[in-house]
Amino acid sequence: MKGVRSVFTVALATAFSVASAYTISGTVKDNSNKAVVGAEVTLIKENKSTVTDKSGKFTIHEDEASPGDTTQPGDTITPPIGLHASVAPGYISINSGILSFSQSGNSPVNVRIFDLMGNQVFKQSLYGSGQVDLTSAVKAKGTYFAQIAVGSAKQTIRFTSTSNYSTTFGESRRALLKDVQAGEALRVVAEGFDTLTVPLGTLDTTLELKLTAAATQQTYAFGYAIGNDPTPSKGCGKDNTLKNYFKFTGGGIEHEVYLDLPENYDKNKPYRLVFGMHCMGGSAQNVAKNEHYYGYRDQKGAKESTIFVAPHGYTDNMPWRCGDNKDHLFFDEILTYLNENLCVDTSRVFSSGFSFGAMYSNSLAQTFQHRLRGVVVFATADQVIYLPKNAGKPIAWMGTVGLSDGTCPPSMGRSARDRILKNNGPEGHTDCTGEKATEYTGGNHVCYDYKTVDPRFPVKWCTFNGGHQWDMRENGKLWASDIGWEFITQF
């Protein structure tokens, strides 16, 4: 038979163990094609791991014993077996695919043949003397492996058959190669690189893997980098027990609270948190049910990515003016309560409101810079509101004003904006009030981005030719909601 190589052509100081169940090997490099040394490579379902060597190479290997195999590591053979070999108590040789044997003792010649998928297609134990044509054991042309064992000696050869054959040898097929488990994957972890996970469809493969260097996230004395990793709250991992409507006592006063969780809420995923603060004469119910949190919850992806909360003020007419700092105590306590019971990204908490709700949000922006990433205020003003001394820390801030607003005039909105600009300069928080935006005096809205501020704490100012409102429309769209949501989600 053409293509058959000698069965026992290597000297065996140690007996060959059973045929390999699988071998996964490969090389791990970085994007510049340099070897990654010491990377941990794990076959997840099999729970086997190794590390890459100085060339970035790795191998994960497993042997699987078949029924009847008794070979143990360390078994030895005397004398060594070659193409023609005498093995006490007998003799074997291969010539043109014909296995010749002569056995006179109790150790038969065990012959097994497997296809490339590891299916056993032939098995026979040979006693006495005789010959076996290996080609008579295979049914079709292709490549096969023959495993021949004499006592503790074992060797596997590969051969190719070029004709069709039939056989009367009967034995149910058995997969020698281990089947890959559903969802099997190879995971590579190395310091300074993003973790790589590669799905596997087979357990016998050679891979060339590339790791991507992990982005370094800069840290600051105050505040977060743009695009920072989420900072999970204490509530992450807890099953949610909060209702869509509940009452909460904070600052010594009971408040109604409306809550909208993301669709398919995941207790292990930190979510953005946005407060919607209602105006004078308004209500938390109206913000949540009718205004959809100033249109934010209708934005693309908002229902899946964000926790929305609408608390009700102390009274309808003067909702956020309970005297001194009671409303600030309430905010501090309700935010802590939500962090402890829900999975919140504490680095992405925002407050937004209109009119009195805007004034309240802007008031919070003076002292809660350490807990609020930013605020968006529609028609804010510095009047009839508790306004604490500014803590001097930066915060992201966006405001809108109608140029003909007589309730919260543009001058008072600018006052709130300029107080923010004093803190939002480049790190060190220098005063940026020197950059003045030109007011727009007619037509549609115009927005101004202040360019001298720290980019982590942007300031946006939008004016429009209108009055006291937040739901301004252009071409049927709530432009202030669209821009406000874009502002919130940039971090």
Is this model's pTM higher than 0.75 or not? no
Which of 214, 234, 258 is the C-terminal boundary of a domain?
214
Q: For 119, which DSSP code?
A: B
Reference 235, options 274, 258, 264, 266; nearest CA is: 266
Verify that 285 and 415 share a domain, yes or no. Answer: yes
In Å, how far from its chain's centre is CA 182? 20
* Residue 239: inside a domain: no
What's the confidence (pLDDT) of residue 171? 33
* Residue 77: inside a domain: yes
Q: Which residues, in sequence order, are CB contacts of 58 under 8 Å at separation 6+?
A: 25, 26, 27, 28, 39, 41, 50, 51, 52
* Residue 147: inside a domain: yes
Which of 167, 191, 214 is the C-terminal boundary of a domain?
214
Verify that 262 and 390 share a domain, yes or no. Answer: yes
- Assess contact for 316 and 285: CB atoms under 8 A: no
Q: For 420, which DSSP code?
A: H
Reference 478, options 366, 406, 378, 338; nearest CA is: 378
Model confidence pLDDT, tens digit, residues 415-461: 999 999 999 988 656 677 776 655 555 568 989 898 889 999 999 99
CA distance 41 to 60: 9
Verify that 316 and 447 share a domain, yes or no. Answer: yes
CA distance 479 to 411: 22
What's the confidence (pLDDT) of residue 136? 72
Reference 25, options 182, 175, 177, 186; nearest CA is: 186
CA distance 343 to 338: 8
Model confidence pLDDT, tens digit, residues 134-189: 767 777 777 777 777 776 666 666 777 764 333 332 333 333 456 778 889 999 99
Verify that 204 and 299 share a domain, yes or no. Answer: no
Q: In order along the chain (491 residues), what is the average pLDDT of each group of 10 residues?
A: 33 30 88 93 92 94 52 33 42 66 68 76 76 73 76 68 42 48 91 90 87 84 92 96 96 94 96 97 96 98 98 82 83 97 98 96 96 97 86 95 93 91 78 65 78 92 93 92 97 95
Q: Which residues, in sequence order, are CB contacts of 300 under 8 Å at separation 6+?
A: none
Verify that 328 and 465 share a domain, yes or no. Answer: yes
* Residue 227: inside a domain: no
Helix (H, G, I), strand (E, B) or coil at 476: coil
- Assess contact for 311 and 335: CB atoms under 8 A: no
DSSP characters over 156-171: EEEEEE-S--------
* Residue 360: inside a domain: yes
CA distance 185 to 175: 21
Strands 344-354 and 271-277: parallel
What's the confidence (pLDDT) of residue 375? 98
- Assess contact for 103 and 129: CB atoms under 8 A: yes
Which of 195, 214, 233 is the C-terminal boundary of a domain?
214
Verify that 12 and 99 share a domain, yes or no. Answer: yes
Half-sphere exposure of 377 (CA within 13 A, CB side): 32
Phi, psi angle pair for 482, to nearest 5°:
-60, -45
Helix (H, G, I), strand (E, B) or coil at 101: strand
Q: For 271, which DSSP code?
A: E
Verify that 265 and 164 share a domain, yes or no. Answer: no
What's the confidence (pLDDT) of residue 341? 98
Q: Where are the alpha helices (DSSP H) in 267-325?
A: 284-285, 302-305
CA dist 89 → 95, 100, 148, 187 (Å): 21, 14, 16, 49
| Whole-number CA gyration radius for the chain | 37
Tell me, what CATH number does 276's domain have?
3.40.50.1820
* Residue 223: inside a domain: no
Q: Where are the alpha helices (DSSP H) in 177-235?
A: none
What's the confidence (pLDDT) of residue 428? 58
Reference 3, options 118, 205, 141; nearest CA is: 141
Q: How many domains does the chain fold into? A: 2
Verify that 269 and 194 share a domain, yes or no. Answer: no
Q: Which residues, in sequence order, are CB contacts of 309 under 8 Å at separation 6+?
A: 257, 258, 259, 260, 273, 274, 275, 276, 334, 338
Verify that 252 and 210 share a domain, yes or no. Answer: no
Verify that 177 and 290 share a domain, yes or no. Answer: no
* Residue 240: inside a domain: no
CA distance 295 to 476: 13
Verify that 312 and 382 share a domain, yes or no. Answer: yes
CA distance 238 to 268: 8
Q: Which residues, in sequence order, are CB contacts of 218 under 8 Å at separation 6+?
A: 225
List the strands of the sheet with 40-43, edge to edge: 48-51, 40-43, 185-189, 196-199
* Residue 221: inside a domain: no
Verify that 203 and 253 share a domain, yes or no. Answer: no
Domain that holds residue 126: 1-214
